[in-house]
Structure 1
Amino acid sequence: MSRYYIAQLNIAQLKAPIDSPQLSDFVNNLDRINALADDSPGFVWRLQTEEGNATDIDYFGSDTIMNLSVWDSVEALHRFVYRTAHVEIMSRKKEWFHSMNEAHMVLWWVPAGHMPSLYEAAEKLNAFRQQGPSPNAFTFKKAYPPPGEAIADKRRHC
């Protein structure tokens, strides 16, 4: 049986230019939070430029930043997002990012060794926006098992 990893895309619309004083605390914490992710158990890969982050990638528009990463399990990703210093940054998102009227985050399974493209990630986000959660595109709230595995016991939460 093939091994699958969990891919995630998260996008956010900036309230100000990335180099503005309003976003300085966010920008000043990027290296620290990215290093925390890189060193976290279960981390596999993240899209980044030579600067070590993805803020220069404007695939979703010049006022939108994104994070695309791969983890060895939903639990590992969930642990990083909600049980590390990443939480303190997330708690300040309203200072830096506009509220989005549609889904801005999506998860999906990829075969081990596959690094998803931005095109693939955008397709998954659009599928989630159009169809809601499915084995093809989902969120932490309603996660699906990797292809070929039975649905895990609902009591086993991240």
Structure 2
Amino acid sequence: MTQTMHLAELNVGRLVAPTDDPRVADFMNNLDRINGLGKRMPGFVWMMEGSGEPGTGNTDVKLDGDPLFVANLTVWENYDNLKTFVYQTLHKKFMDRKAEWFEALADKHFVMWWVPAGHNPTIDEALARLDHLKQHGDSDHAFGWSHMTKQDDTL
């Protein structure tokens, strides 16, 4: 049976300093390592790519023209594959250190949604989903981790 839907996710953050600043060097120096790990994980489908320059990840994709805002946009076969990568790999150690490299954002900065298999979302599409989540909360259109956890609990 062919899988018809995949899970897209967008995570945005605002760096505490420019990408060439020593305060974010450990983050920048490990982007290729963590992104490469994600790409090798079971269930990984697609990642928005930046310039292709080593050590830059997607940091050249500027949000609202702000060079400190960075975005990560990926697609996974399913929720479990994404959750495994985020919480059960080296990625978690870097995620636990995000306060060193990123400002605390008052608004939601992470969103997931289902896309047809084979569809690679654009950054504009992803930001629209994030805006929907901010305005309406969790729904089938746009949701966060807690929405999926609630679904897990009802299975």
Q: TM-score normalised to the size of structure 2?
A: 0.91
Distance between the aligned counterparts of 1:152 and 1:63, measured in 2? 35
Deviations 1:62-111 (A, max 9, x none): 21011000000011000000000001101111111000001000000000
Task: Verify the 8 A CA contact 1:14 1:97 in the aligned structure 2.
Answer: yes
**Aligned-pair identity (%):** 41
Distance between the aligned counterparts of 1:24 and 1:3, measured in 2? 40
Tell me what 1:154 maps to.
153
Tell me what 1:66 maps to.
71
Aligned length: 150
Task: Verify the 8 A CA contact 1:10 1:104 in the aligned structure 2.
Answer: yes
The one-letter code matched in structure 1 to 2:135 is Q
Tell me what 2:108 maps to.
103
Distance between the aligned counterparts of 2:68 and 2:33, measured in 1? 23
**Structure 2 alignment gaps of length 5 or more:** none
C-alpha RMSD of matched pairs (Å):
1.8
Distance between the aligned counterparts of 2:152 and 2:30, measured in 1? 37
**Structure 1 alignment gaps of length 5 or more:** 145-150
Q: TM-score normalised to the size of structure 1?
A: 0.89
The one-letter code matched in structure 2 to 1:103 is K
* 1:53-132 matched pairs, under 5 angstroms: 53-60=57-64, 61-132=66-137
Distance between the aligned counterparts of 1:142 and 1:29, measured in 2? 30
